[in-house]
Amino acid sequence: MQIRDLIPWSRDKEKAAARESGVSGNPLVSLQRDINHVFEDFWRKVENGWNGSDNVVGMFGPSTDVTETDKGVDVSIELPGMTEDDIDISLSGNAMTIRGEKKIEHEEQRKGIYMSERHYGAFYRTVPLPAGVDPDKAEAKFKNGVLTVSLPKTKEALANIKRIPVKAA
């Protein structure tokens, strides 16, 4: 054993030099790999919706709230710039699927500069529903760019609700 083997910073330099000489430890290769991951993540978001959810498909994933009360389930979805004719709602099993398409009305160019931050394109969103929802009594309302779907619970589901009192210890 040589004395330099006992010095920790000496061993680190030798390992670093060996890593840099090899392909796997080359910092440029690592940088290229990281850049590839960034682009792969970007295109995955384009394909699956921008909020990263697996149940949203399209160029944009609308913001959604799902609330459950004792009487039913309410789903609210922000769809600005759309009309009720652009929206399709379907119920299948324990899931509700909302489809729509936001179309470009016109493009505007000013002084040779083009800018668009608004999202256009088709999407669909599938919202899982709890058991006991009555699809025959579902209602949908669209007001001020917000779609609200109310799904009441069945009589059987309402009868099975039990309240448990909470006591102070």
pLDDT in tens, 128-167: 888 888 888 999 999 999 999 999 988 888 787 788 899 9
What is the three-class DSSP state of 5? Answer: helix
What token pair was written down for 131?
């058991």
Mean pLDDT of 75-99: 89
Whether 157 and 131 have beta carbons less than 8 Å apart is answered as yes
Helix (H) or strand (E) segment spanning residue 156: helix 155-159
Domain extent at residue 37: 3-48
Residues 65 and 146 in one domain: yes
Residues 87 and 37 in one domain: no
Is residue 169 situated within a structural domain?
no
Please count the structural domains in the chain.
2
Residues 74 and 117 in one domain: yes
pTM summary value: 0.56
Q: What is the mean pLDDT of the chain?
A: 76
- 3-state percent breakdown (helix, strand, coil) of the chain, nearest 5: 30, 30, 40
Residues 63 and 127 in one domain: yes
The predicted pLDDT at position 143 comes to 93
